[in-house]
Amino acid sequence: MAITKSAKRAIRVSGRRRVKNLLKMKKIRNLLKEVGNLVSQKKIEEAKKLLPQVYKILDKVAKTGLLKKNTAARKKSRITILINKVQ
């Protein structure tokens, strides 16, 4: 249990950050799943429309440090390759 005032504050802040980070990661997972499902259903145009959203959120989380830069780049690359392979 935190004793000092600053430690208590740090616990509150980390709790709020954790919730935000979990929501961002959930959004990433859902977008990647959605694009994967669209590709498997051969709906390439709809998948391409979601691609800018995927890029945007991956770039944002890489910038803030939630994901490493290379991890975000790898995810972007793999989802693009998946879309282009089906065409």
User: Given a cut of 80, is residue 87 above it in pLDDT?
Assistant: no
State which residues form the domain around 35: 5-86
Helix (H), strand (E), coil (C) string for 36-80:
HHHHHCCCHHHHHHHHHHHHHHHHHHHHHCCCCHHHHHHHHHHHH
Domains contained in the chain, number: 1
What is the C-alpha to C-alpha distance for residues 7 and 13, in angstroms, rounded to an integer?
A: 10
C-beta separation of 65 from 22 below 8 A: no
The pLDDT of residue 86 = 85
User: Given a cut of 90, is residue 11 above it in pLDDT?
Assistant: yes
pLDDT digits (tens, 9 = 90+) for 14-47: 999 999 999 999 999 999 999 999 999 999 999 9
pLDDT digits (tens, 9 = 90+) for 38-63: 999 999 999 999 999 999 999 999 99
The pLDDT of residue 69 = 97
Mean pLDDT of the chain: 95
CATH of the domain at 75: 1.20.58.110
